A and B are shown apart, each in its own frame.
Chain A
Amino acid sequence: MRNKFTILALMAFFQITGTLAQQLEVSGTVTVATDGMTLPGVNVIVKGTSNGTVTNMEGYYSIEVDQDAVLIFSSLGFESQEQSVDGRDVIDVIMTEDLEGLDEVVVTALGISRDRKSLGYATQEVEGENFTLTNEQNVLGSLSGRVAGVQVTGASGSSMGGTQKIKIRGINSLSGGGEPLLVIDGTPISNANFAESSGADYGNLGQDINPNDIESVNVLKGPTASALYGIRGQYGVIMITTKDGAKGVEDTRVQLSSSVSIEVAGNFMPVQNMYGAGSSQSFNTLPNGDPYVAVGVDESWGPRMDGTPVRHAWSFYPQDPGYGELAPFSPHPDNIKNFYETGHNINNNISISGGSENTSYRLSVNDTRIEGVEPNTYLKRNNIGLNTSLDINDKITVNSNINYARNDAQRPQQGSEYGTGYFVQWFQRNIDMNKLENYQYPDGTFQHWNLRSPSSTTGEITDLSPLYWNNPYFEAYENTNNDRRDRFFGNIGVTYEVLPELELSANVRSDMYTQNIETRRGFGGTGIPGYTVGKYQNKEMNYELLAQYNKEFGDFSINGTLGGNIFDRRYSYVYQETEGGLTTPGFYNIEASIDRPTTESYLLRKQIRSGFAMASLGYLDTYFVEASIRNDNSSTLPEENNSYWYPSISGSMVFSEFTNWELLSFGKLRASYAQAGSDLSPYQTSNFYNVGTVYNNINTLTVPNSLPNPNILPAFAHSYEVGVDLRFFSNRLGLDVTYYEQRNIDQIIDLDISGATGYSSRILNAGEITNNGVELSLTGTPVKTDNFRWDATLNLNRNRSEVVELHPDIDVYQYGSTTYSSVNSYLNSYEGEPFGSLVGQAYQRDEATGQILLDANNMPLYTDATHNFGSVLPDLTGGFQNNIQFGNFNLAAMIDFQKGGQFFSRSKMLAVRTGQDPLTVATNSNGANVRDPLEEGGGVEVNGISAETGEEVNAFVDARSYYRNVVGRRIYEEWLYDASYIKLREVRLGYTFGSNIMERLPFEAVNLAFIARNPAMLWQNAPDGIDPSEISTGSQDISWYESGQLISVRSYGLNLNITF
């Protein structure tokens, strides 16, 4: 796109003018449909003549034409448009982008611009406007559904910029990792993540990119497209090109984009409102006979909430105005909902761009302020970006691209025993949230809901500190997580045109950040007060030399690249944590640690030196072939194995050049093969010991759990792909289909081994994992009239994975495990099966009938945690993108979907176990509530076969025992859900003001839009209250269980774009 602008700017020089009789002066402004920005360099030609003009930098044109002339507006990358003058003197035109421009130039690996039709592999581009449609907190989330084969799994909006995981073409790494490399204007940047699977989700670092700076994003899928990035590109590359100024004409453009949206919590899990806190249906009483709420019980198996006057938790606080008072024991159906606040997201961006004959620049400043739906959470982000380019002379150009990003956030904790994740898990249905809101009394003490039981002699609670759970407001205001990050990334480079066909360039690229994370556990809550502080610093440098050669010889075109790169990373951190409590209330500092604090200091260094060459040959602009080779030398591998080579080859043929089928406007066939090699993290090839606890003055060292391997080899990914790119009906319909296969061999993994070996895992070259699949991208313009146009893109990906081979002795790879109440579940990969099977406890079933086996008490029997429930990965993912242009209105809607995949929901399981789920108050076939005594017809109906007698059993069992100790605790089969969904992710309805209004305003263009993000889940198979598209387990690479999911956020707002 940057090249596009250069071309446009050059075209602005050509002022094609002419005069004719009976003429009228027509003028107007040309803008872009999607964002309302003015468009310079548009050719405006009078139909049937050679007369014409070009829009200026403000998108303005004026031309003298006949009253009945027809004007043709055309510009590279946009659909041409005809307008009859019909005597009008103002004709404003809104240009729609040509979604799949034929002569599109795409930016490929290393920032090399290539003609799209010459590529022998699939790439897919997303225009920059798509990243600012509705101001996603984490910019990478906007990729969801927009590119076939790219799956984005994200955290809820209440996470404040939480993790967005990106997978291209399935899981290519046994360890589940394998995230694509992020490259911004040729500079690889870190997408690291400081979050863990629970606690605050700090999100991935890719969110430091300012979405307003994005010109376009091009996704290179698989190693084919990215062999030139070596190791780090083996899982694909997300290439981001930022906006730039334009050389050639003295001009300055100022753009302002502002949006304000409100954020509201949505998608609450249904809960029952009949029974309150307790473990039996009768109240305990104080010595004076007053009944009281079972304050020590964090479950809702208690008495019916029938309004009986009782002593509530707050009534035991002498400092509470309601001390000693009775109040009705009644339901608070919205108690969870009441906790959440209305948040907001305010985003302002201003950019100044321009240039002169031999310079160009663009400066952009962004300020984002988000206040979350969880009380006392926020994210403030600032970005400054400066792109400059200077032609020193005809031969030498110097350019720089410098970005600064600053984040300052206070984020909520997620996960089952963190923050407010306990609401549906361990809670009392009778709690009045409004009562808890004033969580601190004037004397500084705190109000909690979960307390020790009152004394049966005095009727008082002497220890009013919380038992197991804090008041949620205490969590929000006293147990805070703060993180701050300052980051610089970008490059400085020089290009030297040695010959017209040979260009040399040298670049220094850098990405450096300092991340600070601070957590507090306040005085007056559960556990002991504490404080942790960590400072993490990363510096990644890339020194790059590149020679590019382009030449045409008759029917042949040659394109060659030779390059070298040194990657150098230095990462260090210091982390400290207090032990045994803090000495002084309110003093959060390591100095305040009562016992010897935990301290860690860490340094990591890594270097990769690479050389590579690539050549492509074109014939008749119809046949293309390209080959590359790369050599990497990694410092992390053993010296005898640390240098390795890998090639790629691809070819394409534009067969529409020699076929004569009219309907087909373009047709291309492509095929490719590529390899990519990979290494491992540092320090995994030699033995070391871990430092253990110090006992008095006795120091301990311990053998680590992961066994290093001095003989590790580099791993290789082999990828094959064939595809076809077809356009019909003058490009009104486009179809791009790719079949791909990727084999990852000698994968370096930390393979779990039997603990009886003395270790938990070993670094190994193990196995082979294959992925194959089909990607389909269908683009079209189903409706197109003079002032109505509907463009749509449908992306689909079907991926199948198989773990072909692991290790001669071990045929299961344990990716993850989670244990709750001594019950384990695992995410395993078995040889010969798809990646990522969920494994856990199932019902024991009668072999003949499939009926559930029951024990002597008629409770279901269950298996060990070895039952394989099948893969968690989806069968089909995709997105459906729509753009409707109607007069000056533009409507964009993004839908994404997934079919298949599954997850285990601990929230649902616990909601049932603790008596909060509506299931626990259901009416049974006797017409009685399941909680009623068995002798009164209550109980849960159980059907099955007695394991002892073999007889069929139909019986009623006590609901609390059934849900609490058996089904809601041990039988995971019951809590598995299909992850399929269809979600409306983004909607934007914009209006571009016409020039008749603009003339009276000091602006060039104004676009006002209503925006909605995440407004609705259109369909899902999983129960209400669990969003399968947001099952985030922090930084875990694969989401396979849900626990304490943050509440979903729906956001609605206005966006205003102004160009001066």
Chain B
Amino acid sequence: MKRFYIILFSSLFILSCNKFDDEINTNPNLPSEASGTQLIASAQLSLPGLSSSPKGAFMAQYLAETQYVGQSLYPQESTSFYSLYQSPLINLQTVIDSEDLNGNDGPVANQKAVAKILKAYFFWNITDRWGDVPYFDALQGGDNYTPVYDSQEEIYNDLFEELKEAGDMIVSGNINNDIVYGGDMSKWEKLANTVRMLMALRLSEVDPQKGSAEFNAAISAGVFESNSDNLVYQHLADANNQNYWFDQVVNQNREWWALTETLVEEMKPVNDPRLAVYGDPTRSTGEYIGLEFGVEEVTGTETEEFSLLGSDIYEQDAPVYLVTYAQVLFAMAEATERGWITGDVEEYYNMAIEVSIEQWTGTTEGVEDFLDNPEIAFDANNAIESISNQRWVHLYMFGYEAWSEWRRTGYPNDLVEPNGMAVPTRLSYPDNEAFNNEDNYYEAIERQFGGEDSIYGKVWWDQ
């Protein structure tokens, strides 16, 4: 009997051995390694999302709501920045931090440079929308659960450095797997300098000296020279890679967006050739008719009475323009006017319009006639206003960018105030930051906006 117990005991202990087959807890469903360029490509998938947003279009008053009017009444509501950190930025940070990138995907330095450029570009967009945001402490995963909000000024300063550094580290040799530039490093280098240049212009009111210095440095490093340098995200005619607006308008039947009266009034009287791309003529009369922005009581809501979002804009494989040559030229015009660089303001202005029309319509035909319009022709007495208004027309659909330029320059100066609500000057932080990162969140709103996370707080450069 005793032997029996011994056998029993020992067999039970064999049962409860803690050595398992190594394979058993190895995930067979997902890869444990990723190449630098696969992560970069993944971050690039998030690029169109920077622009394709009804909220952005309402901020710049490009589009008015035809039904379910609500968002365009500028409600006080939180807007999350989490997905930007969690999707593109962490992927880029992983490339930047990686010590074992594979040279077969292109020179390691170039992979890192592209990651840095894109990271800077995403952060620039983030800080312009929300103000101070987590930057230096961000993207550290488990090493820092509660990243501090850094001041926009410090973020700008660091982004300038990062962009410069990225441009400097580029060596010869293209990278693989690149959605936007096909791996062409010369284009990435120009993008780095162009972003730096446009950021520099943002400092025109708050720190013109620094702005001017960075602006000039960026130009000498080499910025965009034609529309072929543009940062454009090309959607595909395939459900997995389709345009946001296609899903909204075509798949979900949402004829919810008409061109605003403000935009149509700006373009229609001068026969702007871009209008035919921006919007569709009304179905009822074939005319271009804008809808007044932010009117809650839309009586008919008859979408056929208004010019809806253009079919070119919501095409399944439409391009999304992010950083463009026309912006460079508008910036040059403005910088010349501000005395940051020397040149001919009017020439830059005219070129900017020509390049914009080429970008949107594919041709420069009719540009001369268009520029002959007295309303369009450069007005040296109101140079900044002329430039800003035309830049607003050019930036169509990238509402957030146009809104930043509006906040900086105050143009166009005829934006509507629905129910007496002025155009907001920033986005509210994600409301769950109040739980997840409580101390830093409250510290940041206290520091910047006297304790209220309001959409009417002003970011650093917008003083």
Contacts and interface: CB of A to CB of B under 8 A. Distances in A.
Interface string A806-841: 010111101001000111101010000000000000
A563 B25 CA distance: 26
Contact of A687 (B32, B240, B419): B32
A596 B242 CA distance: 13
B259 interface: no
A418 B19 CA distance: 48
Contacts of A565: 15
A7 B435 CA distance: 61
Nearest to A965: B70
Interface stretch (A232-240, A479-487, A601-609, A879-887): A601-609
Interface stretch (A27-35, A108-116, A648-656, A696-704): A696-704
B8 A610 contact: no
Contact of A690 (B30, B141, B300, B420): B30
4 smallest A-B Cβ distances: which pairs?
Answer: A755-B82, A758-B90, A580-B239, A700-B42
A166 interface: no
A315 interface: no
A865 B435 CA distance: 11
Interface in B200-242: 236, 238-241
A692 to B, nearest CB: 5
A566 B91 contact: no
Interface in A675-707: 682-683, 685-696, 698-705, 707
B29 to A, nearest CB: 5
Interface stretch (B109-117, B143-151, B191-199, B321-329): B143-151
A821 B70 contact: yes
B436 A812 contact: yes
A835 B86 CA distance: 28
A545 to B, nearest CB: 7
Interface string B59-87: 00000000101110101111011110111
Interface residues of B, number: 99
B24 interface: yes
A689 B139 contact: no
Given A610-B16, A683-B29, 18 more contacts: A297-B301, A526-B253, A545-B15, A596-B240, A609-B17, A643-B18, A683-B25, A691-B31, A701-B39, A703-B90, A754-B134, A755-B436, A757-B145, A758-B90, A760-B86, A822-B71, A866-B435, A970-B77
Interface of A: 279-280, 284, 296-297, 452-453, 455-457, 465-468, 498, 526-528, 545, 547, 562-566, 579-581, 594-596, 598, 601-603, 605-607, 609-611, 631-633, 635-636, 639, 642-643, 682-683, 685-696, 698-705, 707, 709, 752-760, 762, 807, 809-812, 814, 817, 821-824, 826, 828, 856-857, 862, 864-866, 961, 965, 969-970
10 contacts: A609-B16, A633-B17, A689-B32, A692-B42, A755-B82, A756-B139, A757-B144, A757-B145, A759-B90, A862-B76
Given A296-B301, A635-B24, A692 B146 contact: no
A333 B363 CA distance: 59
Interface string B433-463: 1111110000000000000010000000000
A759 to B, nearest CB: 6
B171 interface: no
Contacts of A452: 253, 255, 303
B177 interface: yes
A916 B284 CA distance: 32
B431 A700 contact: no
A279 B298 contact: yes
B383 to A, nearest CB: 37
Contacts of A862: 76
A580 to B, nearest CB: 3
Contacts of B94: 703
A762 B438 contact: no
Contact of B296 (A602, A757, A809, A965): A965
Contacts of A498: 4
B431 A824 contact: yes
A755 B80 contact: yes
A751 B35 CA distance: 28
A579 B240 contact: yes
Contacts of B241: 693, 695
Nearest to A606: B24
Contacts of A694: 240
A280 B297 contact: yes
A564 B299 CA distance: 75
B26 interface: yes
Q: Which one of B32, B137, B253, B303 has the greatest number of beta carbons of chain A within 10 Å?
A: B253
B15 to A, nearest CB: 4
Contact of A811 (B24, B75, B86, B438): B438
A292 B34 CA distance: 59
A961 to B, nearest CB: 6
B27 interface: yes
B20 A594 contact: no
Contacts of B19: 639
A864 B41 contact: no
Contacts of A755: 80-83, 85-86, 430, 436
A471 to B, nearest CB: 15
Given A639-B18, A695-B41, A611 B420 contact: no
Contacts, number: 284
A284 B93 contact: no
A822 B89 CA distance: 24
A864 B431 contact: yes
B139 A757 contact: yes
B67 A297 contact: yes
A456 B146 contact: no
B291 to A, nearest CB: 15
B305 interface: yes
Q: Which one of A635, A643, A969 has the greatest number of beta carbons of chain B within 10 Å?
A: A635
Nearest to A709: B142
A675 B441 CA distance: 39
A547 to B, nearest CB: 6
A686 B146 contact: no
A753 B433 CA distance: 9
A605 B17 CA distance: 17
A564 B145 contact: no
Given A688-B30, A703-B90, A760 B82 contact: yes
B284 A607 contact: no
B436 A753 contact: yes
B18 A642 contact: yes
Given A564-B16, A688-B30, A762 B24 contact: no
Given A609-B17, A702-B42, A759-B86, A864 B146 contact: no
B48 to A, nearest CB: 11
Contacts of A562: 8-9, 12
A668 to B, nearest CB: 33
Contacts of A823: 77
A296 B239 CA distance: 27
Contacts of B255: 452
Contacts of A526: 252-253
Contacts of B85: 755-758
A422 to B, nearest CB: 14
A811 B434 CA distance: 11
Contacts of B305: 456
A547 B29 CA distance: 40
A765 to B, nearest CB: 12
A969 B77 CA distance: 12
Given A688-B27, A693-B45, A864 B78 contact: yes
Contacts of A701: 31, 34-35, 38-39, 42
B327 to A, nearest CB: 25
Nearest to A760: B86
B39 A703 contact: yes
Given A754-B437, A810-B145, A817 B432 contact: yes
B1 to A, nearest CB: 8
A606 B20 CA distance: 10
A699 B141 CA distance: 25
A455 B238 contact: no
